[in-house]
Every structure is written in C-alpha cells, then in structure tokens.
Amino acid sequence: MIYAFLLFGFFALFNMIIESLIIIERKIEVRNYKLEGYFQDNEKVKGFINRLVKKREFDRNRLNKLFSKTKFQFEALIFIAPEYKDDLSKYVVPKPRTKRTFFKIPNIKRGEWGRYTKYRITDDHIKKGLIFWEKHKKTLAKAQKIYGVPPEYIIGILSIESYFGTNTGKYPAFDSLATLAFTKHRRASFFQRELESLLVMAKSEKLEVEKINSSYAGALGWGQFMPSNFKIFCVDFDRNGVRDLWNPKDMIGSIANYFKKNGWRTGQVVAVRAKYVGNRFRQLKTGYNTRYNIATLDQTYNITPKYTFVYDKKISLIKLPRYDFDELWMGAKNFYAITRYNHSAFYAMTVHQLAQKIKQAKKRQ
C-alpha cells in the first residue's frame, strides 16, 4: 500500500514538472515572438510597434504576433487606392495616376440624386425605422432629452450606416487597417492613426482585436464609427460599464452625442426646399461648405425658401440633380452637423429626407 502511494506521488510530481516545463517554454516563446510574415521587413511597422510599446505600454510580442498573422486585404485597398487595382503581384507599387481631362458637358450628372437614394430611402427602410423606434422609444426619448437630437435623425443614421445592425462589415478590422496604414498611398497616415485607435479601444474595452469585423475602411458597429471616434463620442448609454459599438442603446446615445458635439442646435431646422428660376441651377456654387445670406439670395438671385423657414443665420445651398431638373435646398447649421458624420451633401440630405419620412409615418400610426 505504501509503495503504491509513493508510486502515485512520483507520477503526480513528474506530471507537475512536465506541465511546468511546458508553461515555461510557452512563456519563453511568447517573450521571443518576432515579427514575421508580410510586414517583417517593413520599417514603418517596426517604428509603429516601437512607439506603441514606449508611449502606450503595449506588449511588443503581442503586437509582433498580430502583425505576423495579418492577412493582406487587397479588396479593401483598392476601395481606398484604386491605383492598385491592376497590381496583382506584391501590392507594393501603385499604378501611376493618369491625368484626367474634364469637359463641361451640360447635365452630365443628370439623375444622380435619384440613383443615390434608390436603395437608401425605401419603404423597407421606413418600416424597419418604425419598428426600431417602437422597440427603443425610451432610449431615443432619453437621447433627445439629453442631447436635443430628434429620434428620426438617429434612426436615419442607423438605417443608412448598417441597416440597423445587419450590415456592420465583413472585413477583419485589424487586417484592413494594417493594410491601409502600411501600403503607400495618400491616406496612409490617416489609417495609421485609426489602427492605433483600434488597438487602444480594444485594450481599454478588453476586446480581442482579431475578432473585430468592420467595413473595408475600418468603420465599426451599428453606427459605423471610425476607431478614432470611439474615445471622443461613444458613451455608455445603458450604464452597464461598457461602451459597446454593437449595442443599439449605446449607439443611440453615441450618435446623439456625435451630433451635439458637432454643433447640433436643439429645436432648429435642418433644411428646406428652395425655389429658383429655371430647371437647372448654375447661378451659384453649391455644397455643404457654401455660406449665403438668405436676404441676399432673395433680392439678388430670386432664390427663396419654398416653405416657411425661420432662420437668421447663413445657409448652404445644396443641389440635387434629378433627371429633368435640379432640386435646390437651403441647409442650416444642423444640416452641416450631419455632414460631420459623413462629409457629403448627398449623405446628409438622405439622412434628412429619410428621417422626415419616418417621422411622417410615425404620426400616421
């Protein structure tokens, strides 16, 4: 009996020693993880890692491992830098840009607005918007009370950005941003900052960065926030201790916060349709960055609001080319606030018009 006990103890001790050696071996392996794979000779990647280790206290081996396992996202790259489209070899030398000649052809963008909104303002978008409103009415009301942003505009953003969470991106976020950050093109430095923000976000929120998916450009979650926007605008709106880009409640508060911090003015108008003489508008420059005095537009150019428009600040002129005519709109400060989410007049007008249609449908219920 004693011998059996001693033999059992011997085997138990032996197993403990073996397990300890395995753990030690693994620790040594982790401590010595070297940069390999596609980026192993990339000096900018090495510099990026060094900076994060020194200034952000990241683990070097963890970063080496991440970059070593990165899968080059060629499809994401050609979205951002189309000059790479025909380079199917090593993806390192961009195709030279060719000079483009522009000709002034009347009505060259005829019907562009209709094509843009065809799949963005639909009955399905309105229907799903109403369902979302009913499901999250308390959270939407809370966001409006705190930030002053009406529910229909938050719903409009969520509809267009991810169709209420059903399309948050199929690309591995780290791989896409690493590809875009360390391939030579004009926006590479921007994506280096976004990659750093992604890593910082994952560290602070205890997320496994390898498991995060995004758009091809690295936009995340229901609201498609870029990683750099996370720290600035994302809020823990349901107060569960986590700021979650994939949580609709947190995203309702975060989008409202985004608008508020970008100049949204509670209770003020967003945009109004304008009247002008003719079918095609060429009198003045248009776009969300334009600024005009309403009285001057009326007196000098015979451009007036089509409906009552109580607003005492300068407005922007927005042109929406339809097939037979140009729609002209006056955009207020709140319209400009929407363009901070996506720097496009078409985008902001789509959010506005979809929001108004959802609001009208809500009133009919």
Q: Is 43 a catalytic residue?
A: no
Using left for φ > 0, alpha for ψ between -120 and 50, and beta otherwise, residue 81 falls in beta
Query: Of 331, 325, 364, which Cα lies nearest the Cα of 350?
Result: 331
Residues 86 and 95 sit within 8 Å (Cβ to Cβ): yes
What phi, psi does 104 have (nearest 5°)? -85, 90
3-state per-residue secondary structure call for 19-82? HHHHHHHHHHHHHCCCCCHHHCCCHHHHHHHHHHHHHCCCCHHHHHHHHHCCCCCHHHHHHHCH
Show the tokens assigned to 206. Answer: 């205890």
The active-site residue out of 43, 75, 161, 194 is 161
Residue entry with tokens 């248009």: 286
Query: What are phi and psi for residue 33, nearest 5 degrees?
Result: -65, 120
What is the distance between the alpha carbons of residues 229 and 190, in angstroms, rounded to a whole number?
A: 13
Please state, in angstroms and rounded to a whole number, the distance separating the CA atoms of residues 244 and 28.
35
Compute, in degrees rounded to 10, the torsion defined by CA atoms 90, 93, 94, 96. -140
Give the pair of three-digit tokens for residue 155.
């719903």
d(CA 111, CA 95): 32
Phi-psi region of 98 (alpha: psi -120 to 50; beta: other; left: phi over 0): beta
Any idea which residues carry the catalytic annotation? 161
